[in-house]
Structures are given as structure tokens and as C-alpha cells.
Chain A
Amino acid sequence: MQPKMRHTLIALFLLFPLFASIAAAEALPAGDEIARRINARNEGEVVSRFVTMAMTDRGGTERVRETKSFRKYFGKEKRVVIFYLSPANIKDTAFLTYDYPEADRDDDQWLYLPAARKVRRISASDRGDYFLGTDFTYEDIRKETKVGIEDYAWKTLGEEMIDGHRCFLVEQIPVNEKTANELGYGKVQSWVDAEIWMMRQAKFWDVAGNPLKTSQFKDIKPIQDIWTAHQLISENHKTGHKTVFTFKDVDYGRNVKDEIFTEDALRRGF
């Protein structure tokens, strides 16, 4: 073999992994395409379910809340209401949110506190505040399994297996500092199931770049042909606090009345 040809073959051999990885990356869907596929996934026009919220602190002390929640789409506007059923001292607490499709329109939110017997309008700008003592933010609660496409720059990093399922690994960087501060995240990495376009795991970093929390979506199975996570786990690495949402009696076919998504319904309770 001519020395020149031998050198060319060696160079090709050495460069093969690079070409292969480039080719593989080109085969992966773009980050914002993955985000669009997540949001395009059918999650039902309506859903009702019981949610058990178990919160455990670093010392192992557990607090458990039983809730009933409903979600319904009104056109592209999504409304979610959560009624607390137990324990007795926070029973009848209720939360209502209207999530609007317009990116420049703040959501509307209300909280009913039984101690005051008043519905309180609450600011929706604190998307990164934690929801009633859990490790999920108000934004997490509003979005459920959807994502805020416009809040992040999306980039596909590769593929990994999570719980035996092929997932796309996506990096999300908030589009600007203001959004990062609102969300409370400086970076997010998400593992999105390549078959059903549902998140199976997400890691969050705070705005200073420190590891913040890890969320997992478990026990995913179809209910009335809609893929549904029956357990959400979020663990805060800074505080050692952990929240587990367990869903049961998930029903996408139930007739959920429009009136349940009103201030008066919050006051009357479930």
C-alpha cells in the first residue's frame, strides 16, 4: 500500500467516530422539535384523579395530603383545580389556575384558604415558587406533563436509556436572565421517551449553576389510550426534601362541569 493511501486510511479511521457521532446527532430530532412533540402529545380534553402528595424532609418526617384534582381545556386555555381532602386541618384548601396559550399573558391563579374562608387572588409571576410546600413549582403544577417551549433554548444532547426506555436527552437553557429568575432554574436536562414523547426524568440546576433537584416520572401506562404517569417524584438536593405525587382513579372520560373551575366552586369545596 502506498504510504499516501495508508495515511488517508489511518486519518479516516481516526475520524470515523467523529463522523459517526455527527451522523447520529443529525439523526436525532432537534431540541425544540422534541419540545413540540411533548406538547403535542394527547393528554385528554379533561381529566379527574385523586392525588396523594407525600412530602418527606431530610429528617424523615413525612406529611401526606389527599387531594382531588380536575383539568379541562377550554379551547387552548387550560384550567386546573385542586381540592385538598385531608388532613383535617388543611382540608378544603383549594387552588385554581387558568393557563392561557398567549406567551405574553400572565396566568390567573386563586387560592382558597379555609381558615379565612376567602378566595385569594395570587400572583402568577412567581412561577418558580414551590407549590404549597411541595418540591414542585407552581409552573410544574400548571404545565403538568407539558413544557414551556418559549421559556428555553432547547438542544438535543443525545440518547440514553431510562428505566429500560430509549430517551432523548435534551438540555434547556432559559432564554434570558429574567425567565431564569422567574422559573428558578439556570439549566434543565430532560430525558424524553422517544416513543411516547413523555418526560421520564429531569434534572434542574439553580440560577447559580448548582444542582437543585431531580424529578422522575414513574409508573407510566396508558389510561383510556392516553399515556399517564402515576407517580411523580421530585427530590431537592439542597434541602434534602422530597415530594411524591401518586395518582389514582385517573379518568379522562368523565364529564367535568365548567362551573368547577370557578372561584365559587373553590369556596364550596369538593
Chain B
Amino acid sequence: MLALAGWFIAASALAAGASEDTKSATPNNLRVSAILESEGAYGITRDRASKLEFIIDPQLEYRFSEDTRFTAIARLYAEGFDHLEPGRPEQREIAPNSRRVLLGDRTDMELRELYLSTQLGKAHLTLGKQQVVWGKADGLKLLDVVNPQNFREFILDNFDDSRIPLWTVNAEISLGKSNLQFLWIPDRTYHLLPESGATFAFTSPLVVPQAPPGVAVDFRSIERPKNILTDSDVGMRLSTFWHGWDLTLNYLYHYADFPVFFQSLSITPSGAVVTVSPRYERNHLFGGSFSNAFGDLTVRGEVVYNTDRFLLTRNRADSGGVTKSGEMAYVLGLDWSGLQDTLVSGQLFQSWLLNSTNDIVRDTLDTTTSLLFRRHFLNETLEAEVLWLRNINEGDGLVRPKVSYELRDNMKVWLGFDVFHGNRNGLFGQFAQNDRLVTGIEIGF
């Protein structure tokens, strides 16, 4: 706790020292800026400081013309306690040319984004390493699956930080009131999952195969797609504005970003061994999204059909401990802003497996809800919010109260709690030991 307090004082002093007249825009066509973010966390249940990270994101933008610009964003990341990614993560999920450069156990560098954006007739092209974000949902992802995610902090990190940018050809063609987007993603990078021993390493039987007591586990390396052409992801999105509705139709042919853990049981002279062979599997995603505002109410939603979802089963003899099913899923969200400076937002997520069997470890119908209450004070310099995510099937959830304050023009500080509750087999409940107090500071230069 003292370490966190010391960090906060040091960070504040650094912010105070930042020049007040710092501008992100330099003359002419070049803009150079940077964001320094530092966040510390104290594990309440474990009674120890669990995170002390410093992130610097320098950004350079050069405008060749009104329609053409080049953007580069890098990141220097340092974490003081080495609990989130102990040692030097192997980054096997990441394509070799997209991996972070590890400068030690606690520090790394990364090229976050590097792209050229230009207009060619009716087409807008964005070429390079970038983030592509689909969908209307908050907090949980149905359509927002184009880019993988770093689960170093489960879903606690903000998505802009945790989303992993990919080398992508992104073409958007204007069709009058509609827009057609094509994506070609040769970057074979997938979700970065915390390794065993990390604070947020997955343990839930819903996502990690469980070995029977006394049985050894041989965990093989992840089998990665190899061919840059045939193993690329491709996608398209048609978006339009129709009678007040924002509508999209989406299609993505991709490797699902979670590996499938195929298992086999063998008997060796030293005893029974479960061999786990993770590999990525293809999926067709068909989906759409919508949003509209009616008075104080905004309605938004997403609908998705996944052709090939691979789910863990209780029976290892059955297709390597996994089974394949189609999945229908949707999210419906309602945002109410009837009180000044106040937002109340509720969401219902449901996922339904079309070829479910009794052996599958999750329920055929899985339901998660979210409720967000947010209010601004003092001309939006002070923001207070509470987010509650809850899975109905497992009875577990996550509550995140947070207060943030814009201390100065370019500086924001925050204080919050991340509190997990419920069944330890659940996606949220597995982290019941990871409740934490979080405080942070962000400074723009």
C-alpha cells in the first residue's frame, strides 16, 4: 500500500512538472503527441500490491494532404511486480512480426499501430497495423472480434489498450448512404492468454480442460496456422443509415482467437497422461448490428451466428474432449439519459448452442447481463460510475465502481474497485481472489 501511495505522489509530481502549454499539434502537417498512463492495483483478498504499470504511447501523425495521412503509435510498457505476465512471455499466440520486444521481465516495447490512410475515388483505404472495431455492445464482445485481445488483466483493462492491432488491408467504399468495408488480415495473431502462474491465468473449467486427479498433463505448444494467404482472415461489413437506424451487416471468415484444447488420454509406464494439443480453428461469423434513439432512450444491439464454435466436453473420448456446435448469440442494450448528465445502461447477452449435448461443460443457453450507472459532475471534470456484469448461469459476476477526475487540461486521475463474486468455476468467479483497488493517472503531452 505504501508503494502505491509513493507511486501516486511521484506520478502527480511528474504531471505537475509537465508544461502547461504543451501542444499535441505542431505546425503544418506533422502532429506529435504522447500519452503517459500509470496504474497501480492493490489486491484486497491477497493483501499485496498486484500491479504497478507505466505505459507511454508516443504518436506521430503526418498529413500528406487532406485525404492522406500516416499514423504511427508505439508503446513502452513497464510493470513493477511482474505478476500479470511473469518472466518473459513466449507470445506463441502472436505472429512473429507483431510480437512485442521484451527488454526484460518487466519491460517491453511494441509497435501498436502503423498505417497509411488515403482516399482513392470513392474508396477509403487504411493499410497497415491497425484496430478495426465492429459492433454496438459495451463490455462483452460479439461482433468486436476482428482484433484479438490481450487478457493479461482479463477484461479489466480498457479495450483500446487490450485490443491487439493487426496488419490489415481495410478498404471502405462509399455507396451514397451506405458504406461497404472489406478486410484482408494476413496477420495470424490471436488472443494473448496469461500463462499459468499469472494473476489472471484462466482456471475455469468452462475454458480450460481439467485433468482428473493424479493424472499428469502434457501441454503441447499451440499449433498455429502457417500460410499467410490461405490462413488469412477476411471480412466485410455493409453499414447504412435508414430511417433513423444505424444498421450493419457483417461477415468474417476467421480463425477464432481462442485456441481449441484437443485432449487425448494415454497410459505410459509412469502412469496416465493427458496430452493437450491446442490449435486454432476456422469459423464463419454472420452478424449484424443496429441502433436508434427514441426520446431519452437509445436502443442498440448485435446479432451473431457462428458456424463453428468448439466447446470443451466432460468426455475426452469424444472427439478429443471438444465438440463442435453452431452458435446464435445476441446482445440487446438500452441506454437511458433522462436525467441531466446521467446515463443508465442495461444490456442482455444470450448465447445459444445449436448442437448442444449433455457432455458440453457450458449450458446450452448462456445469459449475461450488464448494468452501468454513470454520472458527470462539475462540467464533466468528475465522473462516477458503477458497472455490474453478471452471468446468470454460473451466478458469478464483476462489480466495478470507479471515480475519475480531470485534474488539469491534460491530466486525469481515477480510483476504483474491481470486485469479482460468485461460483469459482465461472468466468468471473474464477478470479474471486483477485479483487483489487485500482488507482491511476493519465497525462497527455
Q: Please report A residues at the B interface, Cβ cutoff 8 Å.
A: 55, 57, 61-64, 66, 85-91, 106, 108-110, 114-119, 121-126, 128-130, 132-135, 184, 239, 241, 259, 262-264, 267-268
Q: How far is the CA of A245 from the CA of B392 in the complex (A)?
A: 49
Q: How far is the CA of A264 from the CA of B443 in the complex (A)?
A: 28
Tell whether A126 pairs with B379 under 8 Å between CB atoms, given A88-B34, A115-B160. no
Q: Is B445 engaged at the interface, CB distance under 8 Å to the other chain?
A: yes
Tell whether A129 pairs with B341 under 8 Å between CB atoms, given A88-B59, A109-B293, A117-B133. yes
Chain A nearest Cβ from B136, distance in angstroms: 7
Cross-chain contact of A87 among B179, B244, B341, B444 (Cβ < 8 A):
B444
Assess the A89–B340 pair: CB atoms within 8 A. no
Q: Can you identify 12 A-B contacts, CB atoms within 8 angstroms? A: A86-B33, A87-B22, A91-B24, A116-B158, A117-B160, A123-B296, A125-B295, A128-B340, A133-B376, A239-B378, A239-B379, A268-B117
Q: How far is the CA of A209 from the CA of B216 in the complex (A)?
A: 77
Tell whether A121 pairs with B246 under 8 Å between CB atoms, given A89-B443, A116-B159, A129-B340. yes
Main secondary structure of the interface of A (DSSP, over half): loop
Q: How far is the CA of A158 from the CA of B384 in the complex (A)?
A: 46
Chain A nearest Cβ from B335, distance in angstroms: 7
Chain A positions within 8 Å of B46 at CB level: none
Q: Name A133's closest neighbour in chain B (CB-CB).
A: B380
Tell whether A86 pairs with B23 under 8 Å between CB atoms, given A117-B159, A239-B379. yes
Chain B positions within 8 Å of A88 at CB level: 24, 33-35, 59, 410, 444-445
Q: How far is the CA of A262 from the CA of B126 in the complex (A)?
A: 17
Q: Is B81 engaged at the interface, CB distance under 8 Å to the other chain?
A: no
Assess the A132–B295 pair: CB atoms within 8 A. no
Q: How far is the CA of A126 from the CA of B344 in the complex (A)?
A: 14
Q: How far is the CA of A115 from the CA of B380 in the complex (A)?
A: 16
Tell whether A126 pairs with B241 under 8 Å between CB atoms, given A62-B409, A88-B445. no
Chain A positions within 8 Å of B297 at CB level: 123
Q: Name B158's closest neighbour in chain A (CB-CB).
A: A115
Chain A positions within 8 Å of B295 at CB level: 106, 123, 125
Q: How far is the CA of A132 from the CA of B376 in the complex (A)?
A: 10
Chain B positions within 8 Å of A121 at CB level: 136, 246, 291-293, 298, 300
Q: Is B85 engaged at the interface, CB distance under 8 Å to the other chain?
A: no
Assess the A85–B380 pair: CB atoms within 8 A. no
Q: How far is the CA of A87 from the CA of B18 in the complex (A)?
A: 13
* Proximity string of chain B (237-249) to chain A, C-beta cutoff 8 Å, 1 when within and 0 when not: 0010100101000
Q: How far is the CA of A180 from the CA of B59 in the complex (A)?
A: 45
Assess the B298–A87 pair: CB atoms within 8 A. no
Q: Name A64's closest neighbour in chain B (CB-CB).
A: B409
Cross-chain contact of A57 among B34, B335, B379 (Cβ < 8 A):
B379
Q: Name B134's closest neighbour in chain A (CB-CB).
A: A118
Q: Is B131 engaged at the interface, CB distance under 8 Å to the other chain?
A: yes
Assess the A63–B293 pair: CB atoms within 8 A. no
Chain B positions within 8 Å of A118 at CB level: 133, 135-136
Tell whether A184 pairs with B379 under 8 Å between CB atoms, given A121-B292, A123-B298, A263-B239. no
Assess the A268–B124 pair: CB atoms within 8 A. yes
Tell whether A135 pairs with B379 under 8 Å between CB atoms, given A87-B409, A118-B136, A268-B117. yes
Q: Please report B residues at the A interface, Cβ cutoff 8 Å.
A: 22-25, 31, 33-35, 59, 117, 124, 126, 131, 133, 135-136, 138, 158-160, 163, 172, 174, 179, 239, 241, 244, 246, 291-298, 300, 335, 337-338, 340-341, 376, 378-381, 406, 408-410, 412, 442-445
Q: Name B411's closest neighbour in chain A (CB-CB).
A: A89
Assess the B409–A259 pair: CB atoms within 8 A. no
Chain A positions within 8 Å of B338 at CB level: 126
Chain A nearest Cβ from B90, distance in angstroms: 28
Which of A55, A116, A123 has its CB near the most chain B CB atoms (within 10 A)?
A: A123
Chain B positions within 8 Å of A110 at CB level: 246
Q: How far is the CA of A221 from the CA of B251 in the complex (A)?
A: 52
Chain B positions within 8 Å of A263 at CB level: 239, 241, 246
Assess the A63–B444 pair: CB atoms within 8 A. no
Tell whether A264 pairs with B160 under 8 Å between CB atoms, given A89-B444, A117-B131. no
Chain A positions within 8 Å of B340 at CB level: 126, 128-129, 184
Chain A positions within 8 Å of B158 at CB level: 115-116
Rank and list the top 7 A-B pairs by shortest CB-CB distance, nearest first.
A88-B444, A133-B380, A89-B444, A88-B33, A86-B24, A87-B410, A121-B291
Chain B positions within 8 Å of A63 at CB level: 381, 406, 408-409
Apart from A63-B381, A86-B23, A126-B338, 11 more pairs, CB < 8 Å:
A87-B410, A91-B33, A91-B444, A114-B160, A123-B293, A126-B337, A132-B380, A133-B379, A241-B379, A259-B174, A264-B172
Q: How far is the CA of A61 from the CA of B338 in the complex (A)?
A: 30
Cross-chain contact of A124 among B59, B241, B293, B378 (Cβ < 8 A):
B293
Chain B positions within 8 Å of A129 at CB level: 337, 340-341
Q: How far is the CA of A14 from the CA of B410 in the complex (A)?
A: 64
Assess the A264–B239 pair: CB atoms within 8 A. yes
Chain A nearest Cβ from B404, distance in angstroms: 11
Assess the B412–A89 pair: CB atoms within 8 A. yes
Q: Name A55's closest neighbour in chain B (CB-CB).
A: B379
Q: Name B138's closest neighbour in chain A (CB-CB).
A: A116
Chain A positions within 8 Å of B378 at CB level: 57, 239
Q: How far is the CA of A125 from the CA of B136 in the complex (A)?
A: 20
Chain A nearest Cβ from B169, distance in angstroms: 15
Q: How far is the CA of A115 from the CA of B172 in the complex (A)?
A: 22
Chain A nearest Cβ from B101, distance in angstroms: 24
